[in-house]
Chains A and B, each alone.
Chain A
Amino acid sequence: MLERQPRNKTDFQPLDWRRSDRDDIMARIAAAGLIGMGGAGFPVVAKLRSGIQYAASTIIANGVECEPGVNADRALLRHYLPDVLEGLRIAGACLAKPALILAVSDQSIYQAFVDKGELGITCRLVADAPSNGEERTLIGSLFSDEIPTTRYPSQCGYIVFNVATLFAICEAVRDGSRPRDRLVTLFGEETWVELDTKLGDIGQTGATLRLGSTATGRMASNDDVVSLTTNAVEHGIDDQQRACIHCGWCDAVCPRHLPVEAMLRQIQSATRPITLSSEVNACFECGACVVQCPSAIPLLDLLRSAKREVENERRKQVADLRFQQHTVRAAETIKQESITRSTRIETRRQW
């Protein structure tokens, strides 16, 4: 069993959500300051409001964990399944009788759910492959429905919450407590970690700390803290980077079918700007290529920096264009003013 610091006091009055108004539940969720704990950190209340506005008919509890080496969501589902399901029902109470779906990628959790059975909640098993837990991919595999990249799933009838978010919703509403800790895969072991714990205080420090899994995590230092969106703390790739041998494994494994190897060549060459910019932006950072790479190239770090570079380049072009237009317009304004002035001087009354 996972060890968790007991709490002695609650932050709010526990709320009997079955007898409460929708607005009270939403106000409580807002007061607890809940954000999506799957990684993106989208505010929970904003997602629910958008779901209400667009009459979302489905809420999906996303327990599909596909980052290699991360098991925080699995551990949560194993040990706290009733709380997660209650969180799902609470979220469901904010909408007009939506379908409640629990999506998991772990056979044993699926079996445990099916054995027990839960009224009004359906459990779906999804293949345990990289990127299957991404919400648009998940909706695609569950309902064969494609969400356009210009819209949120909540505007298209689906609300997707990570299971850790639902657990936090349950604790905030039923028990009246703000999220104070979260389940994190800490160097391969699932542990409850208090929020705002510095990585330096956890132990096992090193130059290669990562917030997130080995493959997809961001480079971090000892001063970075565990936040609501941290699902893992790991070391980076434990291997010397070697030259790219153009084997193309990264291309083959990319779930978005992006030309990873071509992008890497552009990033590593001195040719600027990066012309594969839309491809770079289409990467959703699943880390599948990092796992595949036989030369231990930190592809995701390079792609992330390329994304920043592409964005910076776009911003520069816009600023240049806007400055040129501004200059032309400002000159015209000055000319107009001088014309107005000279005609006024000419037409003034002679004394």
Chain B
Amino acid sequence: MFEEVVLVSLTMAGIGITLSGGIAALAKWTESRQPIDSLVERVNGLLPQIQCAKCGFPGCRPYAEAVIAGERIDLCPPGGSDTVQALGHLLNRPVDVPAETMDSDQVAFIDENTCVGCARCIPACPVDAIVGAERYTHTILQEHCTGCELCIPVCPVDCIDLHKRAVHA
């Protein structure tokens, strides 16, 4: 009887020690991984997500990763001084006023009378907001358009304009 009790308690203790060790190791691992990932997330959250690539990176997330790796924080024109200040505050870096700014509250609009359906703008859109196929008139989903202006230079007939985003409520 006594031996059984000792055996059971020892087994339970063993399981407990193994589990707690495992959990501690796991916690350590997640801790070691988390800061850099969550920092990218936080920097990415502060960026305006226009995906205009004016910073020289293909989009906001790549720029966020580059900022963590040491890139300058004042390269985002649509974000303007607000974004630079927020980034400087988060990363504890000196804040300079950005060289150029851009209206971040706009959407692109296709003049469907001029559009020839060449489909060149479709791969250019970073958020796939353009509807259409070759030789069919295109249109832009206002819901998804970020106003990044990337579709404008690729249009051969210059049928894309920028409008102020309509505000509801």
Contacts and interface: CB of A to CB of B under 8 A. Distances in A.
B120 interface: no
Interface residues of A, number: 18
B61 interface: yes
A326 B126 contact: yes
B169 A323 contact: no
B44 A320 contact: yes
Interface in B101-129: 123, 125-129
A339 interface: no
Nearest to B145: A319
A320 B50 contact: no
Interface centre among B58, B59, B123, B127 (most CB of A within 10 A): B127
Contacts of B59: 323, 327
Contact of B128 (A304, A320, A322): A322
Contact of A316 (B49, B123, B125, B144): B49
B49 A319 contact: yes
B49 A326 contact: no
A307 B169 CA distance: 9
A312 to B, nearest CB: 9
A326 B169 contact: no
B128 A319 contact: no
Interface majority SS on B: helix, strand, loop or mixed? loop
Contacts, number: 45
Contact of A323 (B45, B48, B49, B167): B49
B60 interface: yes
B61 A324 contact: yes
A318 interface: yes
B123 A320 contact: no
Contacts of B48: 316
Interface in B7-46: 44-45
Interface residues of B, number: 20
A285 to B, nearest CB: 8
Nearest to A273: B45
B85 interface: no
A76 to B, nearest CB: 25
Contacts of B146: 315, 319
A323 B144 contact: no
Contacts of A46: none
A330 interface: yes
A278 to B, nearest CB: 15
A223 B97 CA distance: 31
A322 B61 CA distance: 12
Interface in B125-161: 125-129, 144, 146
Interface string A264-282: 0000000001000000000
Contacts of A318: 127, 144
Contact of B144 (A273, A307, A319, A333): A319
Contacts of A320: 44, 49, 60-61
Given A307-B169, A327-B58, A319 B50 contact: yes
Interface of B: 44-45, 48-51, 58-61, 123, 125-129, 144, 146, 167, 169
24 contacts: A273-B45, A307-B169, A308-B167, A315-B146, A316-B45, A316-B49, A319-B50, A319-B51, A319-B127, A319-B146, A320-B44, A320-B49, A320-B61, A322-B128, A323-B49, A323-B51, A323-B59, A323-B126, A324-B61, A325-B128, A326-B126, A326-B128, A327-B59, A333-B123
